[in-house]
Structure 1
Amino acid sequence: MDHPSKVIAIQMCSGVEPSVNYQYLVRQLEELNLQQPALVCLPEAWLAFCHTSQDSVILSATNTYWITKLKLLCRNYGIWLAAGTIALPHDNERYVAASLLFNDTGDIVAQYNKMHLFDVDVDDNTQGYRESSHCAAGTEVKVVDSPFGRIGLSVCYDVRFPGLYQKMVDQGAQLLLIPSAFTTVTGAAHWQPLLQARAIETQCYVVAAAQVGIHENGRKTFGHSLILSPWGTVLADAKGTCGAVQGDIDLAELMQIRTKMPVQAHNRFKSEFYE
């Protein structure tokens, strides 16, 4: 890639009905009026932010319909699409939070299943989250080639585990995707520091598309979708509103940063956890 390319994070306040969330995506793509190759990134649970995890299990059986529609969108708009997460079947009682990456001809070039599941207590209106009750954890690190550089796929709670991102860099990652639905409590305290740490320590671009606002299911999410440079600079921040933010990926700048400060060559603690 000789010239900078465009990355876009679409911030959403997804509801429980897939058709409504899908139409919001279509409206955003129409308004963007893209004139160059672009990577469009969606938040975690963008297609359906369900009332219960059991609802996600039920929906997972029919979500291939929406995947077919996303393939058509990519072809029609000429975009690459990182489709946040979509619930796909694992077994009769569980789903996987699948992050699908589509190319501009509508092919799925990668599927990453969220590895770290959010089983925590938070001082918000929900109080506690037990994602593992109906979601099965993924097991594979995913780094793939694209016109925007080598992309490493991850999801939300993954951002707290730097060993995963070190493994991605070991596999050549240059752009990290972190679609999320951070709570307002954890988001206010940790969202931007965690993302900047991942960008700085890996010397990668980071695109983190997020959910925002008060949702039909009662959840409250933090927003502030971010695009970060390999130096940790905030290139775009969606703050507290729905909509799209854009930034440029410049691999020449990335290589310059890595050449001047060869962190990976100096690293004496290579991750072995994900071997």
Structure 2
Amino acid sequence: MGASKFYLALVQLSLTTNKSENLRNAWMHVKRVASGGAQVVCLSPTFGYSSDTLNNLELYAETVPGETSDMLSSTARKNKIYLVGGSMAEKENGKFYDTCLVHGPDGSMVAKHRRLNLLAVNVPGRQAFRESDYLTPGDRLTTFDTPFCKVAVGLSQEVRFAPLAHLYADLGCKLLVFPGSFNTTLSPLRFDLLQRARAIDNQIYVASVSSARTQDASCGSCGRSMLIDPQGDVVVQSAGPDEAVVMAEVDLDHLSSLRKVTPVRKHHRHDLYAVVNRQRSEDDRKFFKNVFSV
């Protein structure tokens, strides 16, 4: 890896029902922050379309490659940045996924993350909801390399799952990015605590980027896009739920220094407990598929 410091921008976008307008708005914001020095840029979730996506998957979902992935590739290449493309509804072979695409400075797609953990809510007598009725979960962890550090990708409520962040840290990631919007029905403070906990537990940087609040949405986003440092301190945070861009320096020397002073990860008792990565390699997948198809 190269430089020990780099600039990360979080783009908290407002949404309309016009997809072309949304993509153009995202492009303009990325161009602006890249010209201001951002080297890694993260867009907010579902940045290409407005709310109620789940009930309109056939309308909103795209294949990859497609219009949105082409826009992300072109934008990353023209601005020579790493672009974490928030999230989009992806369709493949009759299935739908909540997907984040990452493109590098040459425009190539360096990572594709399909959300692993789908939301389920059951409030007796009031609300029952399962994203699994609409979406298919992903089946692999997602990381990508930059000249600065290895970066991990999670989506939405995946910030809740401590073992996932632990595994990403074990893989050598020093920054976790979580495009995801917690709504005002859930406590914004809970969202803050989850991010800070993931950062402190693993002594890594954690970034989250939310959609801006849409006035006509049935359940508004709380906004609060932010970057947390390895000590759990807020480096930068959006001022509120409206459209905003925040940018801050990710200081990997600070991370290394903290780990030397307090080497928490070295003190794990692997003889007593462990978080295990059960993700199979692509060769393993092909082998097991052939075995069980016989």
Aligned to 2:221: 221
Q: 1:33 to 1:106 in 2, by over 3 A?
A: closer
Distance in 2 between the 1:84 and 1:52 partners? Answer: 14
Aligned to 2:180: 180
- Please, which moves more after superposition, 36-45 or 233-242? 36-45
Aligned-residue CA RMSD (Å):
2.2
- Opposite residue 71 of structure 2, the aligned amino acid is K
Aligned to 1:152: 152
The Cα shift of 1:13 comes to: 2.5
Partners of 2:9 and 2:38 within 8 A in 1:
no
- Which structure 2 residue ranges, 5 or more long, are not aligned? 280-294
Would you say 1:133 and 2:133 are equivalent positions?
Answer: yes
Q: 1:187 to 1:44 in 2, by over 3 A?
A: farther
Distance in 2 between the 1:217 and 1:90 partners? Answer: 28
DSSP-derived class of the 1:101 partner: strand
The Cα shift of 1:119 comes to: 1.3
- Opposite residue 112 of structure 1, the aligned amino acid is H
Aligned to 1:167: 167
Partners of 2:100 and 2:112 within 8 A in 1:
yes
The Cα shift of 1:55 comes to: 1.4
The Cα shift of 1:33 comes to: 5.3
- Please, which moves more after superposition, 168-177 or 181-190? 181-190
Partners of 1:102 and 1:109 within 8 A in 2:
yes
- Which structure 1 residue ranges, 5 or more long, are not aligned? none
**Deviations, residues 150-197 of structure 1 (Å, cap 9, x unaligned):** 111101110111011111111111000011011112242411000000
Instruction: From 72, 89, 93, give the equivalent of 2:74.
Output: 72
- Opposite residue 248 of structure 1, the aligned amino acid is E
Partners of 1:14 and 1:47 within 8 A in 2:
yes
After TM superposition, the structure 1 = structure 2 runs for residues 102-141 of structure 1, keeping only pairs within 5 Å, are 102-121=103-122, 129-141=129-141
Partners of 2:174 and 2:205 within 8 A in 1:
yes
Partners of 2:40 and 2:81 within 8 A in 1:
yes
The Cα shift of 1:128 comes to: 5.2
Would you say 1:272 and 2:273 are equivalent positions?
Answer: no
**Identity, % of aligned positions:** 23
The Cα shift of 1:213 comes to: 1.3
Aligned to 1:233: 233
DSSP-derived class of the 1:120 partner: strand
- Please, which moves more after superposition, 186-195 or 30-39? 30-39
- Please, which moves more after superposition, 218-227 or 35-44? 35-44
Q: Which has the larger radius of gyration?
A: 2
After TM superposition, the structure 1 = structure 2 runs for residues 185-200 of structure 1, keeping only pairs within 5 Å, are 185-200=185-200
Instruction: From 81, 87, 94, give the equivalent of 2:89.
Output: 87
Partners of 1:22 and 1:47 within 8 A in 2:
yes
The Cα shift of 1:20 comes to: 2.0
The Cα shift of 1:274 comes to: 4.1
Q: 1:187 to 1:67 in 2, by over 3 A?
A: farther
- Structure with the bigger RCO (C-alpha within 8 Å, sep 6+) is 1
**Deviations, residues 83-122 of structure 1 (Å, cap 9, x unaligned):** 0111111342x31111111111111111111011111157
Aligned to 2:143: 143
Partners of 1:181 and 1:222 within 8 A in 2:
yes
Q: 1:16 to 1:118 in 2, by over 3 A?
A: farther
Partners of 1:13 and 1:215 within 8 A in 2:
no
Aligned to 1:15: 16
* TM-score, reference length from structure 1: 0.91
- Opposite residue 271 of structure 1, the aligned amino acid is V
Distance in 1 between the 2:129 and 2:9 partners? Answer: 29
Distance in 1 between the 2:69 and 2:267 partners? Answer: 42
Partners of 1:203 and 1:231 within 8 A in 2:
yes
- Opposite residue 18 of structure 2, the aligned amino acid is E
